[in-house]
Amino acid sequence: MGPVTTIFSSLDTDYRDLRAKAVAPLFSTARLRNASLHGGVIQECVSEFVTQLASLKADCKTNHAKLDILDQCARLSLDVVTGYLLNEPYGGLAEHQQLPMEKRRNAKLSINPFIFAIVGFSRFSLLPNWLFKFMYSLYSRFSFSEEVGRCFVSMDSFARRLVSQTLEVDPAKRQDSYQTRLLAAGITPAETEVQCQAVVFAGSDSTAVKLATILFHLVQNQDCLRRLKEELQAAETEDEGVALQEQPYLLAVIKEGLRVGMANPTRMTRVVPSKGMLVGDVYIPPGTIVGVAPYIVHHDPAVFPDPFAFRPERWLEGGRDNGLKRPNMDRSLLMFGAGLRACIGRNLAQKQLTETIKAVVKSSVLEGARTCQKRIELVEWFNAEIKGHTLDIEWP
């Protein structure tokens, strides 16, 4: 995000801790649960997402057209992250609603170039820092189009307006938000704007890709879709507030989607601490950069037999009511990283995935659909990117 180091890129523990601790309460399970008790922005966005899917489905069936579910998921994720954290949805779901249905169906989220540009230069993130800065400079100079520039200006204006509006309110009367918490921690308005932009990217793109991946596989596996719908209907009949742990097949579907999708397939790097470390019989000296690639552990056949298949059942034992299976599978699931630098927004991402999948499955909007490609191809940069930025489905 330019010259400002963000929560997601800082190697300075004190620098990051000040900022991360300020905003961490926003991502707690308790706050997310309380925010959802009587509706809330996440539920509003999910409801609008499902409504639009149903409308687009009807149009696609009538006109034998395709629907890009990745773009729809990107719209939802953008509005969930900005609505929940910044207290104002960016407007991804509202965008293009005034257009005729044919144009609306083919229109793409306007902020996509901003997201794609950041994902693009993240391919250099594992290079030495001096080389990364050089490559970033070249990439910025030769790869950023006018369209990307307009997106950056739009996102910058959005963040600046929200921070300015927050500053105009008496600190004692400010609504709880990402920007409010950063300002209260002593972070400058200019940096707060950049931190807000960074969390929009970090929180929306990867979740959109994972949501689209899960929906894609549910379309391809209509038996899974039916089984999940049966479980959700049973849970709703028994107790409308049933916990996720009591809906094992839903949890299995989400875990399997995160396993095959991977938010960050390439190496997650760490620096060996001052005392060094021993891995087996091998001593690794302090300061060494080490890492593990989720792609490797997520597709280890010793842990996940038939690793490239989407099989939620692998997470269950003896049926849907007997709990989760094989603890080593959970230890091998690096969907949000691990340790102190694990994804700060993992609870929000899980909440969005859970609420959206439940709503989509209950709506029956995916029933009878089919995918327009056999499998998802990923570009394995730091952030997983679906080739072509498109994932089409249709209703024959």
Q: Is 343 annotated as a binding residue?
A: yes
Residue entry with tokens 């230890």: 331
Q: How many CA atoms lie within 13 A of 342 on its CB side?
A: 13
Exposed, middle or buried by CB within 10 Å (0-12, 13-18, 19+), for 48?
Answer: middle
Query: How distant, in Å, are the alpha carbons of 15, 128, 131, 147 from that of 134?
Result: 24, 10, 5, 23
Burial readout 90-102 (b: 16 or more C-beta within 10 A, e: otherwise): bbbbebbeeeeee
Encoding tokens for residue 109? 């989220």
| Residues of each annotated binding site | 343
Residues making up the annotated binding site for heme are 343
